[in-house]
Amino acid sequence: MKRALLVLLPLALLLAACQRETGPDPLKLTGKMFVFNYRLAYATYLVTLEKTQPLAEGSIVRAEFENPAGGAPLTLERKLFASLPRVVLESPDVTCVKKNHPYRVSIRVLGPDGEQLQSLETQVTSSLDQDILPAKPLVIGPAYEKNPAVFKDGKAPAHFETATCAG
């Protein structure tokens, strides 16, 4: 019996050391905004988080962003790395962003075993409508060459067509 305890006790202590203690949430929301890329004619959500607690290797973060055009939320999943103190979540491209309208963002932190460690709910509100963006990218390709669909014969149009919301 003593021999079994001598073997099981260190094993139990080792397993207990691997468990995350309940306490403060592992991530803290530090920033949120919409990013409008005028050159490439797209908008995205950008959410930043800072680690406040260490997370086990293999942990992930899942985010759901309300789709401003309607329909299903846009989703994103990122692996969390122990060596990186911050997490940056950038959504897929969005359309139909309206000024002063709050859009929902839901974030879940999951451990390597899939157990939910944290859940965050927030809203992102834009100070601009998406129609400030051009309808087509102004540049194309890796060298950011003028988009021939916008710049006819290399010359800028008298008026740039702006993005519209089909949703």
pLDDT tens per residue, range 95-126 = 999 999 999 999 999 999 999 999 999 999 99
Q: How far apart are CA 131 and CA 163, in angstroms?
A: 5
pLDDT at 82: 87
Band of pLDDT at residue 164, cut at 50, 70 and 90? confident
Residue among 127, 124, 107 at smallest CA distance from 116 = 107
pLDDT at 160: 84
Region of 100 (left: φ > 0; alpha: ψ -120 to 50; beta: rest) is: left
Q: How far apart are CA 43 and CA 93, in angstroms?
A: 6
pLDDT at 165: 84
Band of pLDDT at residue 81, cut at 50, 70 and 90? very high
pLDDT at 9: 47
Band of pLDDT at residue 79, cut at 50, 70 and 90? very high
pLDDT at 45 over 80: yes
Band of pLDDT at residue 32, cut at 50, 70 and 90? very high
DSSP classification of residue 70: S
Neighbours of 59 (CB within 10 A): 21
pLDDT at 2: 53
